[in-house]
């Protein structure tokens, strides 16, 4: 049987460096780069939504007391929401481009068929 004392002795098994590295991974996933923006776009959108929700919960909790920290969170949230919207527009446009390409190919085939090519 696990003792409560043992559980508390094993708390905080992470450190600030690890959290910082995870934050860097998140930054890379959220960063809109000309070379990688299409990569896992739906996953990026879902991750951003989740991260934004976590930050909102943090903002409205009693865990953040300082006005300057709350202001920093609000500023970060504004930027992340704008980034999420940018990804969503890109995702929507990517889907529309694929649909337009398929439609153009279908019309091209129909045209070729109708003129006997």
Of 38 and 17, more confident = 17
- Using CA atoms, how far apart are residues 35 and 37, in angstroms rounded to an integer? 6
pLDDT classification of 102: cutoffs 50, 70, 90: low
Question: Structure tokens of 46?
Answer: 């879902």
pLDDT classification of 2: cutoffs 50, 70, 90: low
Of 20-29, 54-63, 90-99, 100-109, the poorest mean pLDDT is in: 100-109
Q: Is the pLDDT of residue 99 over 80?
A: no
Of 85 and 5, more confident = 85
pTM: 0.69
């Amino acid at each position: 049987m696990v003792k409560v004392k043992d559980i508390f002795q094993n708390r905080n098994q992470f450190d600030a460096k690890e959290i910082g590295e995870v934050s860097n991974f998140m930054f890379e996933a959220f960063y809109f780069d000309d070379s990688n923006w299409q990569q896992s776009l739906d996953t990026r959108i879902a991750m951003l939504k989740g991260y934004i929700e976590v930050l909102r919960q943090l903002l409205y909790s009693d865990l953040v007391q300082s006005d300057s920290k709350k202001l920093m969170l609000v500023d970060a949230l504004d930027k992340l929401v704008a980034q999420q919207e940018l990804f969503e527009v890109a995702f929507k446009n990517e889907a529309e481009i694929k649909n337009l390409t398929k439609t153009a190919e279908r019309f091209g085939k129909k045209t070729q068929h109708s003129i006997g090519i």
